[in-house]
Amino acid sequence: MSKEEIAKYTELADQRVIEIFRHAKVEMLHAERLFSHVLNAQHIWAYRMSGRKPEYGVWDIHPKENFESLSLENFKLIREALNNFPLDQRILYSNSRGDQYENSIDEILFHLFNHSTYHRGQVVTLLKKAGFTPPVTDYIMLKRDHLL
């Protein structure tokens, strides 16, 4: 499985969650905060890979109406990194506390996709508790449906 397919899977799974937020008439502050965190982390890592300073903090909260545009921008940058940098290229970056680290693009992407899946599962649990039918986000199900 390629990194491009994992990026496509992550984007599609996120879009299914965003679709529920789009139609929700009730506030789900904890779920919105946690999904904002997912989008912020993707943004931060995408910016780090492109050598730019992130515009958002790890726990900034975005209105759910902005989730789709944030996600589209994140995945545009993630795809640029996939297409423009070798996976073994090392990136020097600072975390939110200013500590410096270095990791390869490959390691960063693995972390980014894994982090998204972890927190997306938490968000889906919160959506289910709020009465929404959880979206199908399982990789194998999307693969069987020829969406990946």
R_g over Cα of the chain: 15
Cα gap 95→24, rounded to integer Å? 34
Cα gap 55→136, rounded to integer Å? 31
User: SS3 string of 42-68?
Assistant: HHHHHHHHCCCCCCCCCCCCCCHHHHH
Enter the pTM of the model.
0.95
146 membership: H or E segment, kind and range:
none
**The pLDDT of residue 141:** 94
Out of 1.20.120.450, 3.40.718.10, 1.20.1440.230, 3.40.50.300, select the CATH number for domain 3-144: 1.20.120.450
67-84 and 3-23 helices, crossing angle to 10°:
170
**The pLDDT of residue 3:** 87
pLDDT in tens, the chain (148 residues): 888 999 999 999 999 999 999 999 999 999 999 999 999 999 999 999 999 999 999 999 999 999 999 999 999 999 999 999 999 999 999 988 899 999 999 999 999 999 999 999 999 999 999 999 999 999 999 999 999 9
14, 71 in Cβ contact below 8 A?
A: yes
∠77-58-92 over CA atoms, to 5°? 60
Boundaries of every domain in the chain: 3-144
Cα gap 21→142, rounded to integer Å? 20
β-bridge partners, 92: 102
Cα gap 145→148, rounded to integer Å? 8
Strand 100-104 to 90-94 pairing? antiparallel
Cα gap 101→66, rounded to integer Å? 30
